Amino acid sequence: SQTIHQWPATLVQPVGSPLSLECTVEGTSNPNLYWYRQAAGRGLQLLFYSVGIGQISSEVPQNLSASRPQDRQFILSSKKLLLSDSGFYLCAWDTVTEAFFGQGTRLTVV
């Protein structure tokens, strides 16, 4: 069966520090992968999506970047975090008929 792992579950980082969130998928090949952010009291914003290794589409200009070094690995990064980067980050992969989400990472930048 397909499984998606996302870690860490929670993270508190100081302003200006780097960030690396990792997401891996099991049980499928060549999935479409997504990073979403859900800021407090707001909806779900698509940050990046990837249709294959090394193929990243950025949906909004921001302080973050994404990479896909392997077929089932998707990494969200930042060189220097901002206060506004705080939020709930969700990794997902989808088929034509359904998307599967990780448990999310709650990031607090202090």
Partner 1 sequence: GDSVTQMEGPVTLSEEAFLTINCTYTATGYPSLFWYVQYPGEGLQLLLKATKADDKGSNKGFEATYRKETTSFHLEKGSVQVSDSAVYFCALRTGGYNKLIFGAGTRLAVHP
Interface with partner 1 (CB under 8 A): 6, 32, 34, 36, 38, 42-44, 46, 49, 51, 57, 90, 92, 94, 96-99, 101-104
Nearest to 4 by CA among 106, 103, 85, 76: 103
- The nearest distance, CB 94 to partner 1, in angstroms, is 6
- The nearest distance, CB 104 to partner 1, in angstroms, is 5
Residue 62, CB-side half-sphere exposure with 13 Å CA sphere:
22
Residue placing its CB nearer to partner 1 in the complex, 15 or 44: 44
Length of the chain: 110
Task: Spell out the residues 6+ positions from residue 11 whose beta carbon is closer than 8 angstroms to its own.
Answer: 19, 21, 105, 106, 107, 108
Residue placing its CB nearer to partner 1 in the complex, 49 or 64: 49
Residue placing its CB nearer to partner 1 in the complex, 17 or 30: 30
